[in-house]
């Protein structure tokens, strides 16, 4: 049935009891009960519940609807299962806090149209809804747990891979450090060897430079000695040439002496530029009965 039979709005209060009564026919589920509370503004997000205790003591605990400050309940078959007067209350819950109305009375008249009596039982749709929600929540939780388990297993596997990768990284890092230290050590050794070789080369270069300097000095001295020797040779050659010239002149002078003597000594005839030889003179003295005069005596005559 799509169109429910709306009952007139029934007034209930939260501050004091006004003895509200609701009338109904046994088993009628096509009715819609509407309640109004005029001494309290119901929060729009509040939960509305109907509690009802039937004449047999069986109980009803079902959810209601709040719309435009009107509380509505659609009675179930169990709500109207028993003939007689039931006692009900409306419960308003918000943020785990609860407000309950003063009791109202539900008067259920016999439905003669029904072929058989309705077996009256407890009905807790609120709890059923909670159970359904709990079951849905449990199912969701199971799904979440399964998802969490899957994710956790994936995380564990990822963690294992991470640990393995980290171990590999640490191993690689240790190897890198070892290789780096070894390379540094080898580089230091090579540097030391290169420095030693450079020092040895520098020492040898210094010695070579010193040797070259000594050689250059010796070469300079040799060149100087050669120069001096050349100068000495030149002077010797000049002296030899001078001596040779002097000897030539001396020889020429000696060779010219007989000629010059012949020019000075003339035993044939006397002249103003010539003289007699000592032999001629001695001969003259001898012919004149003069004793022989010596050359030294003749020479001493020049001092007279």
Q: Judge whether residue 105 has pLDDT over 90.
A: yes
What is the average pLDDT score of the chain?
83
C-alpha to C-alpha distance for 212 and 280, rounded to whole angstroms: 83
> pLDDT tens digits, residue range 291-300?
555 666 666 6
Q: Judge whether residue 142 has pLDDT over 60.
A: yes
Among residues of the chain, what percentage have pLDDT more than 90? 35
CA distances from 294 to 28, 199, 264, 278, 299 (A): 213, 96, 19, 8, 9
> pLDDT tens digits, residue range 160-183?
999 999 999 999 999 999 998 999
CA distances from 62 to 73, 204, 292 (A): 8, 112, 206
Estimate the share of the chain in helix, then strand, then coil, as percent rounded to the nearest 5: 50, 20, 30
The predicted structure's pLDDT at residue 291: 58
Instruction: Output the pTM of the full model.
Output: 0.46
SS3 247: helix
């Amino acid at each position: 049935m799509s169109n429910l039979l709306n009952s007139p709005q029934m007034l209930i209060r939260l501050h004091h009891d006004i003895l509200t009564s609701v009338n109904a026919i046994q088993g009628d589920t096509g009715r819609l009960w509407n309640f109004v509370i005029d001494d309290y503004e119901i929060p729009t997000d509040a939960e509305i519940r109907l509690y009802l205790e039937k004449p047999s003591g069986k109980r009803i605990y079902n959810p209601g609807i709040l719309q435009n400050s009107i509380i509505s309940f659609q009675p179930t078959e169990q709500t109207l299962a028993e003939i007689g007067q039931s006692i009900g209350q409306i419960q308003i819950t918000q943020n785990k806090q609860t407000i309950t109305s003063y009791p109202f009375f539900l008067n259920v008249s016999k439905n003669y149209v029904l072929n058989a009596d309705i077996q009256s039982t407890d009905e807790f749709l609120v709890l059923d809804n909670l159970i359904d929600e709990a079951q849905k929540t449990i199912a969701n939780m199971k799904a979440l747990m399964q998802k969490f388990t899957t994710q956790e297993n994936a995380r564990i596997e990822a963690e294992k891979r991470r640990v393995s990768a980290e171990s590999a990284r640490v191993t690689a890092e240790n190897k890198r450090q070892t290789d780096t230290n070894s390379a540094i050590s080898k580089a230091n050794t090579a540097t030391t060897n290169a420095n030693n070789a450079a020092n040895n080369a520098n020492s040898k270069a210094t010695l070579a430079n010193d040797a070259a300097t000594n050689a250059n000095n010796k070469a300079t001295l040799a060149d100087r000695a050669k120069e001096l020797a050349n100068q000495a040779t030149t002077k010797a050659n000049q002296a030899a040439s001078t001596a040779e010239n002097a000897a030539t002149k001396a020889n020429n002078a000696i060779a010219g002496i007989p000629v010059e003597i012949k020019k000075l000594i003339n035993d044939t005839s006397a002249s103003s530029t010539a003289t007699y030889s000592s032999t001629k003179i001695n001969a003259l003295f001898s012919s004149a009965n003069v004793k022989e005069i010596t050359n030294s005596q003749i020479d001493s005559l020049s001092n007279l």
